[in-house]
Chain A
């Protein structure tokens, strides 16, 4: 046999693979209704001017395990918070918001900044997202970026 290097050796022992199911993070799934409810309460906080609370609520409830449309819905919620903080504050105040977040929330924020930058509505607001990115890593350092790239709990 000449091309023995091309044999699909994995086919010989199918039970030993890490399959997609094995890689699903061990966290509770989030339903579209739950994401919708979070979006509502975030909007309420924003209308009351509680910007930090709105940001924290949105970053505490990322739908790691759910369908793509729910993930997009939540990304839009986060985007709404970031945009409305921008409309009501000076860009130099972003750092204050970021430093009041927990380390877990900061990691999640960076994940959403990357995600939103890759979406059509985020691409239109490049300056806003890059502004948030700059102010966030200014406070947190490179850690959250490293975790965005390596975390299997994707947003």
Chain B
């Protein structure tokens, strides 16, 4: 069931990539790296290594998130230095220039996402607030309104509803909350939906939690256009999908499936399928509806860590037995055996050699991933 085409891999150095984003036409790729964001020139389905064309330097701590505006003209970044910046290309100077965002937060900014129309954006933070930001022309800066109650923990993830008003946020207290981020004078009144009818700013239209109370790593509205369902992944290795019924009513369905994998860090939700990846360094595809969800397939062959059976085709992973022998050697002789053990390559069987940090849609229904191993990979599922 796995893909026939092998994935396209870009090894962009060896520093961890926390987040990545393509421009809408896939000719620019932005990746976070330490305190900067690197901007690469590439093209759709190109197998050549992307060319570094600019380094966005403006943050003085780790950049945690990056996002292209829907029209591709602006790049949004946020960082642990408590700031967010909006970058635009200045043709006269031939470089990208940042615009300040007045976030008014006292702790790290953890995640940032443009709204679907691109006229505002949200920044989640460890300061227990979500800053919803919009442009103020008089002063040439971005101002923010805070979503505060009832948040009491770090925001880990954000997802916008296509109506440009509703915003879902996952946090470390195990909750996913759906807020109205309606900005007066900017937004038009949204059409009534299962999420609610009257939606002034800060209205909490949904609050869901996993049973274990563990961190929510990522949340996503269904991208089928209706967005009448919401999916999230938690640190207890579960995937949950909520189907709200209407204002003031309990959800029509709340499906939660436990998996046997290490927790997922990021997910994509389209119609009746979810793609998730994370600490297991692999992608898993799920399928289902209100009546239930199930795992459809694992994208890459992976070694079974419990049963310690080497994969049949090519054994690249080091087994616990080999590791034990290696340490015995080190203990006895005080050095590592100079001859490489047979088949003891330390590589994982998956393309990503470390945690997958973010998943994004790529062209032609493909998926791009970034990882702590410094790789950007494009999978054709």
User: Most chain-B CB neighbours within 10 Å: which of A22, A103, A152?
Assistant: A152
Give 1 or 0 for each of A4-25: 1 = CB within 8 Å of chain B CB: 0000010000001110001101
How far apart sit A10 and B236, CA to CA, in the bound complex (Å)?
A: 28
CB-defined interface of B121-138 with A at 8 Å, one 1/0 digit per residue? Answer: 000000010000000000
> Which stretch (A35-43, A113-121, A143-151) binds chain B?
A143-151
The reply to whether the CB of B117 lies closer than 8 angstroms to some CB of chain A is: no
A-B pairs with beta carbons under 8 Å apart, 9 shown:
A16-B152, A18-B152, A22-B152, A142-B262, A142-B306, A143-B261, A146-B261, A152-B174, A152-B213
Q: Which of B167-190 contact A (CB under 8 A)?
A: 173-174
Is the beta-carbon distance between A137 and B106 smaller than 8 angstroms? Answer: no
Closest chain A residue, CB of each to CB of B212: A151
Chain A residues, Cβ within 8 Å of B215: 150
Q: Which residue of A lies closest to B304 (CB)?
A: A141
Give every chain B residue within 8 A of A17 (Cβ-Cβ): 152
Interface of B is mostly: loop
Q: Which residues of A contact B235 (CB under 8 A)?
A: 146, 150
Chain A residues with a Cβ under 8 A of chain B: 9, 16-18, 22-23, 25, 103, 107, 137-138, 140-143, 146-147, 150-153
Residues from chain B with a CB closer than 8 A to the CB of A146 are 235-237, 261-263
Determine the distance from Cα of A119 to Cα of B181 in the docked complex, in whole angstroms: 50
A134 CB to nearest B CB, Å: 9
B306 touches A151 (CB 8 A): no
Q: Quick one: given A137-B306, A152-B174, are A16 and B258 in contact (CB under 8 Å)?
A: no
Chain B residue at minimum C-beta to C-beta distance from A22: B152
* Shortest distance from the beta carbon of B282 to any chain A beta carbon, whole Å: 13
Least Cβ distance of A101 to chain B in Å?
Answer: 13
Q: Is the interface of A mostly helix, strand, loop or mixed?
A: helix
List residues of chain A with CB within 8 A of the CB of B306.
137-138, 141-142
Q: Which residues of B contact A23 (CB under 8 A)?
A: 173, 213
**B333 within 8 Å of A (CB atoms):** no
A146 to B234, CA, bound (A): 11
* Chain B neighbourhood of A137, CB < 8 A: 306
Q: Does B305 contact A (CB under 8 A)?
A: yes
Which B residues between 224 and 254 are near A, CB-CB below 8 angstroms? Answer: 234-237
B258:A103 contact, CB within 8 angstroms: yes
Contact partner of B307 (CB less than 8 A), chosen from A9, A103, A138, A153, is A138
Nearest A residue (CB) for B307: A138
Q: List the B side residues contacting A18 at CB < 8 Å.
A: 152-153, 173
- B365 on the A face (CB < 8 A): no
Verify if B259 is at the interface (C-beta below 8 Å from A). yes
Report the Cα distance A152→B216, complex, angstroms. 13
Q: In the bound complex, what is the Cα–Cα distance between A152 and B237 (angstroms)?
A: 14
For the complex with contacts A140-B260, A142-B260, A147-B237, 13 further pairs of A-B residues with Cβ separation under 8 Å are: A16-B148, A18-B152, A138-B307, A141-B260, A142-B261, A142-B306, A146-B261, A147-B236, A147-B258, A150-B214, A151-B214, A152-B213, A153-B213
A147 to B262, CA, bound (A): 9
Report how far A140 CA is from B237 CA in the complex, Å: 13
| CB nearest to A142 among chain B residues | B260
Chain B proximity of A28: nearest CB distance (Å): 14
- Bound Cα distance A143, B234 (Å): 12
In contact, A143 and B237 (Cβ under 8 angstroms): yes
Q: B236: which of A9, A138, A150 is its contact (CB, 8 Å)? A: A150
Residue contact B259 to A16, C-beta cutoff 8 Å: no
Q: Which 6 A-B pairs have the closest CB atoms?
A: A141-B260, A152-B213, A150-B214, A143-B260, A151-B212, A146-B237
Enumerate chain B residues within 8 angstroms of A16, measured Cβ to Cβ: 128, 148, 152
A143:B259 contact, CB within 8 angstroms: yes
A142 & B305 in contact (Cβ 8 Å cutoff): yes
Cα–Cα distance between A16 and B154 once the two chains are bound (Å): 11
B153 touches A151 (CB 8 A): no
Which residues of chain B (282-319) have a CB below 8 Å from chain A? 305-307
CB closest chain-A residue, reference B280: A142
Contact partners of B212 in chain A: CB under 8 A: 147, 150-153
Q: Closest residue to B262 on the A side, CB-wise?
A: A146
A133–B164 alpha-carbon span in the complex (Å): 49
* Nearest B residue to A12, CB-CB: B106
Q: What residues of chain B lie closer than 8 Å to A152, measured between beta carbons? A: 174, 212-214
Q: In the complex, which residue of chain B has the Cβ closest to the Cβ of A152? A: B213
- The reply to whether B263 and A150 form a contact with Cβ atoms under 8 Å apart is yes
Residues of A within 8 A of B263 (CB): 146, 150
Residues of A near B260 (CB, < 8 A) are 140-143
Nearest CB of chain B from residue A70's CB, rounded to whole Å:
20
